């Protein structure tokens, strides 16, 4: 009988006992290692889930901001409508309905006076009796501050159900004449939640800046218009984002992530019921136990092979994880373990999702910037952009003495064009006019639609004589054009030079405007300077 010396002791081993101890010696460290790895992976998975929830909450908050800001942009465009300037309320009613139908932003447009009485509501035909504004306090705030306001959820005056509105001042003669409201339905925000395609059982909601629920995936009819839980409202007031264990309004314990927008003060919350998290954990532990039992039965050889396979599969996830951290598309590695392949696929999907959301955010920001600075009808710069350019040129004049001229261009008899041919033809005339003006000026000059049929041009690095020559070229070019339907159209032009002694950029604009009125008084289709 052979004797084996091990650790200083003489031992005799039976094959069965040796195999048992060998299997145990091989598998016990593996079992412990798997347990440690599982605990580590669970913590990492929990942390990754929280990060994913936060990333989704941020994207949703940006989507909510985008929807609110797009509505505000549409309201700003409507608030400067020439129909309001002319007090053509019926024409403005038609225009507002067209804008709502075309842009798909909001559900209605409301125009209210200072007493709170609704004058126009696109949900009703023009002239129908209308109630008072559903949120008089917010209305007073706009009249007092002359600034746009994003409302909380309140009961609308016409629909008598929860609504949200963007309320903007309509300025006339430097005073707030009306308040224009873009109404949004909570279902507009529900679409953002539905688009996330959350797993069944997950709960998400959109909250206004006071903590009132504006949209919810579960039982929206019951909870929209109600306050969120006191714990949630307190936490979002303390921090703009985070993750916490909380209880829903239905009493369901959840792991919740929230994000509050620094722009609008609105927030979104995403909750995963704790029962679902624990069920996934128990499912994983069950499969782990079955796997370990199988390893005990199969023996040393399979245990050793499985260990190598598992280690290789786990190590294969390193490169995708690093690629995801660098913002790159994640390649799916060749692995032998299904779970590792699923994690690798999830990493790639997470990379694609982050890339898509980043691209969507860039596109949304670009679209908002375009809407904020471009005139929707002509494609030229709008009044806001013109005021910014005027300020920049004025500061440059003050700093370095570079001269510039302001041209005020007004289409002659444009009201008769609209009255005789209709606003659609008038719009075509304005679009053609924009093309003519842009082509008549230098590439370095600036031209914008200032409002209605008025255009403003800034001629940098030019003298008074040069500005008058340019204005005359523009006037003749317009007069020689054949405009759609109406044929010949003429313009009157007021020219003014900015002066270094001017207090601000508005001085030159006023002089150009005064010169334009002189051109009108002198019979139109002429150039005058001031």
Any idea what the CATH number is for the domain that residue 422 is in?
3.30.70.270
At 237 the pLDDT is: 87
387 and 242 housed in the same domain:
no
Chain mean pLDDT for the chain: 85
**What's the whole-model pTM score?**
0.49
Q: How confident is the model over 408-417, as pLDDT tens digits?
A: 999 999 999 9
The reply to whether 331 falls in a domain is: no
The reply to whether 311 falls in a domain is: no
The reply to whether 388 falls in a domain is: yes
- Looking at residue 331, the DSSP 8-state letter turns out to be P
Cα 294 to the chain's mean position, in Å?
A: 53
Q: How confident is the model over 161-211, as pLDDT tens digits?
A: 899 999 999 998 889 999 999 999 888 888 889 888 988 889 999 999 999
241 and 98 housed in the same domain:
yes
Neighbouring C-alpha atoms within 13 Å toward the C-beta of 361 = 15
Q: Residue 216 maps to which CATH number?
A: 3.30.450.20
How many domains does the chain fold into? 2
Q: How confident is the model over 120-173, as pLDDT tens digits?
A: 999 999 999 999 988 899 999 999 999 999 999 998 878 788 999 999 999 988
Final residue of a structural domain among 275, 298, 328: 275
The reply to whether 325 falls in a domain is: no
The reply to whether 294 falls in a domain is: no
Q: In the structure, what pLDDT confidence band is assigned to residue 492 with cuts at 50, 70 and 90?
A: very high
254 and 126 housed in the same domain:
yes
Domain that holds residue 389: 383-529
Final residue of a structural domain among 275, 303, 318: 275
The reply to whether 44 falls in a domain is: no
Q: How confident is the model over 278-308, as pLDDT tens digits?
A: 786 677 777 777 776 776 677 666 656 766 7
Residue with tokens 């949209």: 215
90 and 227 housed in the same domain:
yes
240 and 99 housed in the same domain:
yes
113 and 229 housed in the same domain:
yes
Sorted by sequence, the CB contacts under 8 Å of residue 457 that are 6+ apart come out as 406, 407, 409, 437, 441, 445, 446, 447, 448, 474
The helix or strand, by DSSP H or E, that contains position 436, with its residue range, turns out to be helix 423-440
Residue with tokens 């002359």: 146
Final residue of a structural domain among 247, 275, 303: 275
The reply to whether 137 falls in a domain is: yes
Sorted by sequence, the CB contacts under 8 Å of residue 129 that are 6+ apart come out as none
């Amino acid at each position: 009988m052979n004797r084996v010396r091990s650790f200083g002791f003489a031992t005799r081993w039976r094959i069965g006992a040796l195999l048992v101890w060998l299997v145990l010696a091989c598998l016990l460290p593996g079992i412990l290692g798997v347990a440690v790895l599982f605990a580590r992976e669970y913590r990492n998975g929990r942390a990754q889930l929280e990060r994913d929830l936060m990333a989704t909450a941020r994207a949703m908050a940006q989507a909510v901001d985008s929807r609110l800001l797009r509505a505000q942009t549409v309201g700003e465009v409507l608030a400067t409508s020439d129909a309001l300037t002319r007090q053509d309320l019926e024409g403005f009613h038609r225009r507002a309905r067209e804008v709502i139908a075309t842009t798909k932003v909001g559900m209605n447009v409301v125009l209210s006076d200072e007493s709170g009485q609704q004058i126009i509501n696109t949900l009703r035909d023009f002239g129908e009796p209308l109630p008072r504004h559903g949120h008089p306090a917010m209305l007073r705030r706009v009249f007092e501050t002359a600034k746009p306001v994003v409302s909380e959820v309140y009961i609308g005056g016409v629909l008598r159900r929860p609504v949200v509105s963007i309320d903007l001042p309509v300025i006339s003669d430097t005073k707030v004449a009306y308040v224009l409201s873009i109404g949004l339905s909570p279902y507009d925000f529900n679409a953002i939640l539905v688009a996330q395609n959350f797993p069944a059982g997950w709960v998400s909601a959109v909250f206004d800046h006071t903590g009132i629920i504006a949209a919810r995936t579960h039982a929206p009819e019951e909870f929209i218009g109600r306050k969120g839980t006191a714990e949630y409202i307190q936490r979002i007031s303390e921090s703009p984002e985070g993750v916490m264990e909380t209880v829903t309004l239905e009493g369901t314990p959840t792991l919740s992530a929230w994000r509050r927008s620094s722009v609008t003060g609105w927030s979104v919350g995403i909750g995963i019921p704790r029962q679902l998290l624990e069920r996934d954990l128990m499912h994983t532990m069950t499969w782990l136990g079955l796997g370990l039992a199988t390893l005990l039965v199969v023996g040393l050889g399979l245990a050793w092979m499985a260990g190598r396979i598992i280690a290789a599969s786990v190590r294969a996830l390193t490169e995708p994880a690093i690629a995801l951290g660098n913002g790159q598309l994640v390649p799916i590695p060749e692995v032998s373990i299904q779970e590792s392949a699923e994690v690798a696929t999830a990493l790639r999907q997470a990379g694609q999702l982050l890339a898509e959301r980043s691209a969507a955010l860039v596109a949304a920001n670009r679209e908002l910037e375009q809407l904020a600075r471009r005139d929707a009808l002509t494609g030229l710069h709008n009044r806001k952009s013109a005021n910014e350019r005027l300020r920049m040129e004025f500061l440059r004049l003050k700093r370095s003495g570079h001269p510039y001229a302001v041209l005020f261009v007004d289409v002659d008899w444009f009201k008769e064009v609209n009255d005789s041919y209709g606003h659609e033809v008038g719009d075509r005339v304005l679009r053609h006019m924009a093309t003519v003006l842009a082509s008549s000026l230098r590439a370095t000059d600036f031209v914008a639609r200032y409002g209605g049929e008025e255009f403003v041009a800034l001629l940098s690095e030019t003298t008074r004589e040069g500005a008058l020559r340019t204005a005359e070229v523009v006037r003749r070019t317009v007069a020689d054009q054949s405009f759609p339907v109406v044929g010949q159209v003429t313009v009157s032009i007021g020219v003014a030079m900015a002066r270094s002694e001017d207090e601000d950029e508005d001085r030159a604009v006023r002089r150009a405007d005064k010169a334009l009125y002189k051109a009108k008084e002198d019979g139109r289709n002429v150039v005058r300077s001031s």
